[in-house]
Structures are given as C-alpha cells and as structure tokens.
Structure 1
Amino acid sequence: MDFAIDPDITDFAASIDSLLGKSDMPSVLRAWAAGDTAPGETVWGRVAETGAAALLIDEDAGGAGATAVEAVVALEVLGRHAVPGPVVETVMVAPRIAAALGSDVAVDLASGALASVAAPRVSPFAPDPAVAKYLWVADDDEVFTGTAGEIRRSVDRARTVTVPSKGGNLAAANTVDLINHGALGTAAQLLGLGKAMLEMSVDYAKQRKQYGKFIGEYQGLKHQLADVAIALEMAQPLLWAGALAIAENPDVPASAVRDVSAARVAVADAAYLSARTALQVHGAIGYTLEHDLGLWLTKTRALQTAWGTQSFHRGRVLKSLEAAR
C-alpha cells in the first residue's frame, strides 16, 4: 500500500513554493514588522490566487472542497517561507466557521479575505487583527463576533496579537473541531519553519570556516544537524496522520483529538530543536535583526503556544489513551 502524498498535491505545493521563492520574504517580513503590511498582503493575495486560501471552502462557494491533507501540505510551504498574517486561522479555522455562517462569508474567504480567530480557553490571542476582515471568538461551541482589545507585539516582530472581547453570537460551531484544525495547521507551519532553518544551518555550515576547516566538517556539528533532520522526518508522518484523522471523520472531531495533538507535540518539539540548533550553528549573529534566520527563529518561538501549549496537547493525548483502555 502506498502512503505517499498524491503527486497533484505535491505539484500544487511546488507552485506555491515557487511563487514565494520569488517574493523576497525577508523584506516582506521586515516591512510587516515595521508596520507596513502592504507587501505581505500582496503576497497573500497571490497565494490566494493559487487556491490555497480556498482549500477547505466548499465548491459551491468557490472553494476547492479539499481536505485537511491538502491544507497541511500547503501550510507547510507557507511555514517554510514564514508568510506573515493569520495564516492558519484563515486557511484552516475560518472555513469551518464559514460553513456555519453561510456562503457569503465562504465566498469572501475563498477570494482572499483574511480572518483571525481566538479560542479563549486554549488559544486566547487572535493574531494580526489589523489586517483581518473577520475577527471571531470561538467558545463553548459558539462563535461570536470579536472586538480587538490592546494590540501587543509578539516575540515575532512580524506578528501582533490581541485578546478580543466577545460580541454578538453568530452561530454554533464545534470548538473541538476548530481547535483540531488550528492545532494541525500550526503544526504544518512549524514543520515548514523547522525544515527551512535546517536548510539554512546546513548551508551556513558549508560556508563558515573555523580553525581552517568548514564547520560542517566537524563531527559534533554533523550529529546535531542529523538529530534535527531525524526529528523533522519522524514528525512528518504524524502530521499526515492527524490530517487523515480529520479528513476521514469530519463530523466526529473527538475521534481526531489524539492524532492531531500527537502531531502538534512532535512537530513543535522538532521545530524548536531546529531553531536551537540553527542558533548554535550560526552563533549570536543568527539572532540579530540583520540576519534572516532571526525572522524564522522568532516565528517558531511565537507559534509554540498557538492553538494550545505542549502540555495541553500532551494532556489530550493522555486522556485519549486512557479512554481507549
């Protein structure tokens, strides 16, 4: 039996990768951090034109009618290029809310509108509300309009967050389902970030010399980079398993809790290891504002607690295993 991703999906991801590779993302991220979100919104518009924003939107509303499998493949690419904005909320969470709100919102999202979402008990911070057309709060299996509170800058300078207050009740929506989608999408982003930082580290190790040798020739450094590669490679199938769990049981979100949270834990740990190792390989220069690596490091750190902390997701895995005994 072949468990590989369908070639059509990988080709789609490659097209997004090619587009973003030509977009000078470090400059886009620095502009976003400085308060100029226009270049980033332009990039997002181009991404939306590929259909990435509409993957989970029904075909009747102009979407692709795809599953979480296609979505996580696309989100991994968006993570690799550190695309700013409420990416996971727009691609993964908002379509589930739009299904409850009606076709007008779904059509808007499929056309590239950005949405930001907070879930107070798990993920209380809504990212980048200033660029989001929709701001929602999901709590107690209900979705409410959100009103942005104080805007705070995240550890990722190209990311702001707010704790929105609840407004009017809009519709019923399964909170577990929304958390599953948010957590899985964040895991996909983190996997892309982790792979990008590993690639940066390997490239730097081939260029930087110390004591007359390229630092990549030292055995200790090879072992560190190999550990990162193994961690990322082992986390990848867990991400796909989480996506399959959602895709195969869309109406029973509780059945996907274990697989989604297991993926979130494994990927977040692997991405964090990649970030730590990248900083060790580059030295302090990697954390400076002038070096591109710092943009990926801080985004990885910011996403470690998005849509649930590691302890929250480990707790969900444990509860699922105990319930199955």
Structure 2
Amino acid sequence: MSAALDNDELAEATRLLRESAAGIAPRGGDRRRVRALRFQPPGFDPALLRAMGEQGWIGLRLPEEKGGAGLGLTALCALAEELGAALAPEPLIPAMLSAALLAAVDAEAPLDGLLSGEALVLTAWQEAPSALAAPGTAEAPRLFIPQAGGASAFLVPVRQGDGMALLLQPAESAELSLQKTQDGGFFGTLRPGSGTPIGTVSPGILADALEEAALATAASLLGVMDQTFTLTLDYLRTRQQFGRPIGSFQALQHRAADLQIQIALSRASIAAAAALLDEGQAPRAERRAAVSRAKARASDAAMLVTRQAIQLHGGIGYTDEADISLYLRKAMVLASQFGSAAMHRRRFAEEAREDEA
C-alpha cells in the first residue's frame, strides 16, 4: 500500500476501482462480447485494453514518478476480482508484469506505450509448465504467453551473471506459435531471437513481479467463482421442479452452502496475502508462503465451484451454449497460470518450514 494512503483512502480508492471496472467490464459480464471474441485472434479487444490503459490500470502498481497510480495489492486484487467476474479476456495482469520490469530499467518509450494501452508488451518468462520461476535460459522456448497474438513486442529475461538482462523483441520478428485455450483465448510459444537489450534487473525484482501476478490471478479466480455462484443461486431460485423452485430442496441448499464457504475462505486468504505484501515488512519466505496459500486455495476452489455449478444447472449446464460453462472454461485456464495449485502447495510447505526455521 502506498505510504500516502491511510485505510480510509485505500477503501475509497478500491471502491472507485470497482466502479470504474463496472463501467468497462460489468461484473455480470457481457457474455455476448466474450463469445464473439472466443478463438478469434488475438482473443481480446485491443480497444478495451486501451480503455484499461486510459483508466490507469496497467500502471496501477507503479509509483507516480513512473507514470503509475502507486496503489497496493489490495487495490489490485479488487480490480482483478471484478475483471474475473466479467470474464474479461484482456491480458491486464501480464501487461502489469511487463510494466513493472520496464519501469525497473527506465525503458520510457516501451513503457509509455504499454501504460497507455496503445502497445502490448508481454513478458516471455516461463520455460516449464506449472512454474513460477524464471530461469532465464537464453535459448529456451518461452511457453504459455497469454494472448501472445496481440503483442507488439515481447520482453525476454535472460540470465547474465547475477542479474537478468531484459531483451525487447518486436513481434514482427518473433518466431511465435499460438495454441487455443479452453476459454477461447490463445497461448503463445516464443523461440527467443535477436532482441534489443534495454537493461538488467536483479532476479528478485522479476520474482517479486511474478508473486504479484500470481496473487492477482488468484483474485481473478475469486471473481470467476463468485459470479458463478451468483448465477447458480439465481438458477436455483427460478428453476421449477415438482411445483417449486429447486433451490428449496435441502440437499441443494447444503451443496450451495459448501460452495459459499469455499468462496469465503478464498477471499480471506487473498485479502490476508495482499495485506501482508502491502505492509512490506514480512520476510520473503512468509510472503511467498502467503501468495502460494492464496493461489492454491483459489485454484482448487474455483475448479470446485464452477464444476459444481455445472452440475447444479443440470443437463443444460454441460452444453457450450449455457453461459455457466464459460466460467468453468475460464477457471480451467487461470487455475494453472502463474503456478498450479499443486506447485503452490509444494512451495507453501517449503516456505512455511523455512519461515519457522
């Protein structure tokens, strides 16, 4: 959290963020827009990404002197939750990751274009599935780059000695292949080529940026499951069987209560992790453990809630035409981004032991 903001100011900033999100990507979701963008390159609306840049969202975490808003992770998680609930396919979190790295090396030209939403710079950091570490291997293909087909350039971290050199590689010269994702977007695989060195950062700066992206993704999953639950409750209240709403059946009420508990636990875990990182005083092991706990819980809970919602909708829920299926597809993609639940559980166990020592 910015030192200039007290709790009341942070609450007001968070409220305004949620309201601005409702104006661009309503929580209820424009599901016709989502369907129209599915499997159509680049998989998102560049105009809407520009609108997000105009709102200052891409630079939300950057200090004001770098062109940002200087807000903390509590505010970011609130925004990510709203966009998750709206099923927004725009790659805001990956763009924010790139903004953090570009700001760290004072790369003004690409940073200005990224913050405005006029250009999309994506960081090609991942070399293995279900990972949250960037080895920076020079020749290794970079995997699972979200919505890579819409990028104007790629930021490629390459280890050099004790640091990470950042290479800016224009999209037009990139050796890039695209694969469709379950939610209708695209993942890119990039083979690093000739890029322009723009600076060097410590591995810790990149690691911290990835931690924030993982926590923001957990918040997006929270939005997905929360809106899924809302739609499911509406269905249970209106769907009639044997002359009464099926939501009046005790067995279904129990299942709904269990899902609500999972959502509440995820929300508490994400809020606790965001507050801990905003304070900035906890040891690295404790911070990493908090992020892993939140991401593992959100990934597991989102898959449980969305799958159960499909079942509670009955046969129609299993069809692609049913809007509820869009939430399951989104959860399937987000659950493994910036580390799967299994990876984060392993890391939580390791970091918790280190913190206790």
Say yes or no: TM over 0.5.
yes
The unaligned stretches of length 5 or more in structure 1 are none
Q: Does 1:98 pair with 2:98?
A: no
> Residue type of the partner of 1:43?
L
Out of 252, 257, 268, the position equivalent to 2:288 is 257
The unaligned stretches of length 5 or more in structure 2 are 1-6, 133-142
Out of 237, 240, 243, the position equivalent to 1:212 is 243
Deviation (angstroms), 1:285: 2.0
Out of 42, 45, 53, the position equivalent to 1:48 is 53
The separation in 2 between residues aligned to 1:199 and 1:138, in whole angstroms, is 41
Which residue of the partner structure matches residue 21 of structure 2? Answer: 16
The separation in 1 between residues aligned to 2:316 and 2:350, in whole angstroms, is 43
The separation in 2 between residues aligned to 1:64 and 1:77, in whole angstroms, is 18
Query: Identity of counterpart residues, as a percentage?
Result: 25
Q: Greater helix share, 1 or 2?
A: 1
Out of 300, 305, 311, the position equivalent to 1:269 is 300
Deviation (angstroms), 1:144: 3.8
Q: Residues 6-155 of structure 1: matches in 2 within 5 Å?
A: 6-21=11-26, 25-35=30-40, 40-91=45-96, 93-102=97-106, 103-112=108-117, 113-117=119-123, 118-121=125-128, 122=131, 124-138=143-157, 140=159, 142=164, 143-145=166-168, 147-155=174-182
Higher mean Cα deviation, 250-259 or 191-200? 250-259
8 A contact 2:58–2:99 mirrored in 1: no
Deviations 1:217-252 (A, max 9, x none): 111111111111111111112112222333333997
Which residue of the partner structure matches residue 156 of structure 1? Answer: 183
Deviation (angstroms), 1:136: 2.7
The separation in 2 between residues aligned to 1:26 and 1:276, in whole angstroms, is 19
Of the two, which has the highest radius of gyration?
Answer: 2
> Residue type of the partner of 1:119?
Q
State TM-score, norm by structure 2: 0.82
For the aligned residues, what is the CA RMSD?
Answer: 2.7
Deviation (angstroms), 1:95: 2.3
SS at match of 1:201: helix
Higher mean Cα deviation, 60-69 or 260-269? 60-69
State TM-score, norm by structure 1: 0.89
Query: Structure 1 runs of 4+ off > 3 angstroms?
Result: 2-5, 36-39, 137-141, 143-148, 167-170, 250-255
Q: Residues 154-233 of structure 1: matches in 2 within 5 Å?
A: 154-157=181-184, 159-167=185-193, 168=195, 170=198, 171-174=200-203, 175-233=206-264
Deviations 1:58-88 (A, max 9, x none): 3123221222221111111111101003222
| Count of residue pairs the alignment pairs up | 322
The separation in 2 between residues aligned to 1:244 and 1:193, in whole angstroms, is 21
8 A contact 2:27–2:82 mirrored in 1: no
